[in-house]
């Protein structure tokens, strides 16, 4: 086999693998995490939290601040304005939701920066 043929095969296989990984990543679902299980070691990790909205506030800059409560505790959830617009977070009427986002720390408290909302 010629080097050009092997190169073409390797490029096609690489692209097919990347496309497959993309589709698999879109279908995988994170299992919900209990709020009390979150620790400082989880900062930067993507997680899913499900709970009841106990408070909701929209800032002057259109960031949405929620507090979610599950059976184990409460956590602050932030949806920045550009994400809030995409997710229609200003229209949240449900009392129970699931959010997917990254764990962060602000003023020595853990919080979730939202990337996706499941109603």
For 63-91, what is each residue's pLDDT tens digit? 999 999 999 999 999 999 999 999 989 88
Judged by DSSP in three states, 31 sits in: coil
Q: Which residues pair with 110 in a beta bridge?
A: 105
Look at residue 74 in the predicted model and tell me its pLDDT: 97
Q: Quote the percentage of the chain above a pLDDT of 70.
A: 99
- Read off the tokens for 73: 């505790």
pLDDT at 114 over 90: yes
- Read off the tokens for 117: 């909302």
Q: Which residues pair with 99 in a beta bridge?
A: 49, 117
Question: How does residue 24 score in pLDDT terms, banded at 50, 70 and 90?
Answer: confident
What pTM, to 2 d.p., does this model score? 0.76
**What are phi and psi for residue 76, nearest 5 degrees?**
-80, 140
Q: Which residues pair with 114 in a beta bridge?
A: 101
35-118 to CATH, choices 2.40.50.140, 1.10.10.60, 2.102.10.10, 1.10.238.10: 2.40.50.140
pLDDT at 118 over 80: yes
Stretch 90-97: mean pLDDT: 85
DSSP letter at 81 equals H
- Read off the tokens for 97: 């939701």
């Amino acid at each position: 086999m010629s080097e050009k043929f092997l190169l073409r095969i390797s490029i096609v296989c690489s692209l097919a693998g990347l496309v497959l990984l993309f589709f698999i990543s879109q279908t995988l679902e994170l299992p919900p995490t209990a709020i009390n299980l979150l620790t400082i070691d989880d900062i930067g990790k993507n997680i899913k939290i499900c709970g009841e909205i106990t408070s909701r506030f929209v800032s002057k800059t259109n960031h949405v601040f929620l507090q979610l409560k599950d059976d184990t505790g409460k956590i602050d959830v932030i949806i920045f304005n550009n994400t809030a617009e995409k997710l229609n977070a200003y229209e949240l009427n449900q009392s129970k939701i699931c959010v997917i986002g990254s764990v962060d720390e602000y003023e020595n408290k853990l919080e979730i920066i939202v990337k996706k909302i499941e109603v």
